[in-house]
Amino acid sequence: MGWLATPERFLRPSRVRLGFLSVAALAFFVTEFGRFVYRPYVRRNDINDFGLADSIGNIGGIVVQIFVIIAAYNSTKKQSFRIAPLLAAGYVVYEFLQPVLPKGVFDWKDVYGTLLGLGLSFGILWIIWRIFPERASELDRSEPKPRASV
């Protein structure tokens, strides 16, 4: 089994893959609702939502990206919990690079939103893996078993 992905699992059907794609689709629609309906409503009515409207793209975007990548890789439980923080780290690094990018604006709310989205993703991953526990037949068996020494 690879650290982040196992090529043998890419095309193998999996029950949990559908769960990951469902979460990604739901998170995408919630994020777009937040960006195009909730954010203008909050700004139009001058509502203080503690920055949620400003960081909804990062909160939902990282959830969508995590679950799309995990579904594409058909990741195991360990791999999915390794991939999620790496993707979030990429979002945070990108946010810190904003001042040197054209038209880039650094915003701490986006960093906090990404970390909040990562926490939400960890919670959802935990629930999914409780609903769809890994079976021995789904794990990659190409890795050699440790031998007992005599």
Residue 118 to residues 62, 84, 87, 122, 148: CA-CA distances in angstroms?
A: 7, 7, 9, 6, 39
Q: Is 51 inside any structural domain? A: yes
Q: Which of the 8 DSSP states describes residue 149?
A: P
Which pLDDT tens digit goes with each residue over 60-84? Answer: 999 999 999 999 999 999 999 999 9
Q: How is residue 1 written in tokens?
A: 């089994």
Crossing angle for the helix pair 15-33 and 52-73, to the nearest 10 degrees: 160
pLDDT at 146 over 70: no
Dist. CA 49–CA 83, nearest whole Å: 30
The yes-or-no verdict on residue 138 having pLDDT over 80 is: no
The answer to whether position 2 is within a domain reads: no
> How open is the CA angle 108-105-31, to the nearest 5 degrees?
65
Residue 8 lies in a domain: no
- Residue 147: pLDDT band by 50, 70, 90 thresholds? low
113: closest CA among 70, 68, 71, 50?
50
Q: How far apart are CA 109 and CA 129, in angstroms?
A: 30
For residues 142 and 113, the model is more confident at 113
Measured in whole angstroms, the distance separating CA 123 from the mean position of its chain's CA atoms is 11
pLDDT digits (tens, 9 = 90+) for 105-133: 899 999 999 999 999 999 999 999 999 88
Mean pLDDT of the region 3-10: 75
pTM: 0.84
pLDDT at 20: 95
At 99, list the tokens: 């001042």
Q: Is residue 149 part of a domain?
A: no
**Within a domain: residue 140?**
no
Q: In the chain, how many domains are there?
A: 1
Domain assignment present for residue 3? The answer is no
Within a domain: 79: yes
Domain span including residue 105: 14-134
* The pLDDT of residue 15 is above 80: yes
How far apart are alpha carbons 15 and 17 in whole angstroms? 6
Separation of first and last alpha carbons in the chain: 27
In a domain, 1, yes or no: no
Q: Name the token pair of 86.
A: 């790496």
